[in-house]
Structure 1
């Protein structure tokens, strides 16, 4: 198998573990995931490696999501089995959330990310209420959703890091990192609106790469929406390179 394809398969697996669903049902190599409709990733089918080897597989998918009162959604990547994407398109599934996965080494990030001491960072290995409050505020998440997100973070069974970037005592940036198999997945990178374009994200990524290296992960991956030009420019500047694309196919 081509090295890039093998790596993409591995990252599809570990990123699913890094953002887990409350309910997971296996169907051969596939995972059917549900978590109260919170985020597309945690409420979609992850089709890995090959198509199911029986004809009524779509009936099982439909029953699963109907039972959860959720739309039927598939996460389709460059390494999903062929010809699944074409089949779903023919069945009326709509494309959503076109995104890409980028990778870098921690050493590349540390070499490329030029930082100063104006911004301070706090990285915790445990989820704290202080971090949750900052997450809810900066991401502008409705307060009634706080419990769902807190449960999701607590569901992750892997080693995690939670970062706050601070300026004069105010939290102006956040992020999380999840470690598995020598890889660090960066998630939830966000900057307070009034502090954007002030290198907060660069400081956060530098600190998370440093923390990941100290905890045994030499490589980093992240996911980014394909039309987020500002984020893509930053990631490329920090040494990230494109690995593969993914999108969702949804039927409402």
Structure 2
């Protein structure tokens, strides 16, 4: 279930089906949008591996798999794929989060404005203007809501809620460095989910790096609980 939710919530610009796997390509911008999602076991594992390795090599990208602990994980380990970025998937009901965080006002839009993009990219972005343009295409590849909280200096915190049926995917939560430790992360999250209610969002998921203790404390306080986990295996093609 979460594979398909994440696939819809953060859509790659190009997908290629490979015998039960989905190889995703987005110009190298973000690992999620440039990784193989193994939905089921291929009929011929060696052939599938050679195929995806060739696809990534043709695009000048490292081969990256997003997966949980599985037989494939062990195979990739033996083949020299490096383990990285262990990540938790957490879920919560919308009413639980709003009860925990309270109601906060945020400017809500259905597309990311320039100031929203600039703050998010300044905090979390990796790359130049071309990479930001690709990231903007990923963001707008499916329906979503974009929250911004401003102060006297301009945008102070932003976030994105992907709309996937009655689920909302929390992405791109970013707070300007000088505005941190003032509760703005929780305020953006609350504002997003309050707006999501009007779109039928009754529950949400998010992904958080296992080592990100600060974010995990916020999400625990908001009522999120662990539901699954994944990591990446990668090597240069």
TM-score range, shorter chain: over 0.9
Q: Residue 6 of structure 1 corresponds to which residue in structure 2?
A: none
Gaps of 5+ in 2: none
Deviation of 1:38 (Å) = 0.7
TM-score (norm 2): 0.93
Deviations 1:12-51 (A, max 9, x none): 1121121121210012332001111111111110011x21
Deviation of 1:125 (Å) = 1.2
For the Cα contact (< 8 Å) 2:115–2:155, is it kept in 1? no
Match status 1:147 vs 2:137: no
Match status 1:23 vs 2:10: no
Q: Residue 162 of structure 1 corresponds to which residue in structure 2?
A: 146
Give, in whole Å, the separation in 2 of the partners of 1:33 and 1:73. 9
Q: Residue 170 of structure 2 corresponds to which residue in structure 1?
A: 186
Match status 1:126 vs 2:117: no
For the Cα contact (< 8 Å) 1:138–1:173, is it kept in 2? no
Q: Are the structure 2 counterparts of residues 171 and 32 from structure 1 closer, same or farther at C-alpha, using a change threshold of 3 Å? A: same
Q: Residue 155 of structure 2 corresponds to which residue in structure 1?
A: 171
Give, in whole Å, the separation in 2 of the partners of 1:126 and 1:168. 23
For the Cα contact (< 8 Å) 1:104–1:240, is it kept in 2? yes
Q: Helix, strand or coil for the counterpart of 1:52?
A: coil
Q: Residue 98 of structure 2 corresponds to which residue in structure 1?
A: 110
Residue pairs, 1:204-223, within 5 angstroms: 204-223=188-207
Greater Cα shift, 84-93 or 121-130: 121-130
Gaps of 5+ in 1: 1-9
**Where do 4+ consecutive residues of structure 1 move more than 6 Å?**
none
CA RMSD of aligned residues (A): 1.7
Q: Residue 78 of structure 2 corresponds to which residue in structure 1?
A: 90
TM-score (norm 1): 0.87
Deviation of 1:143 (Å) = 4.5
Deviations 1:43-102 (A, max 9, x none): 110011x21012511111111111111111100125xxx410111111111011111100
Give, in whole Å, the separation in 2 of the partners of 1:240 and 1:203. 15
Give, in whole Å, the separation in 1 of the partners of 2:126 and 2:53. 30
Match status 1:225 vs 2:209: yes
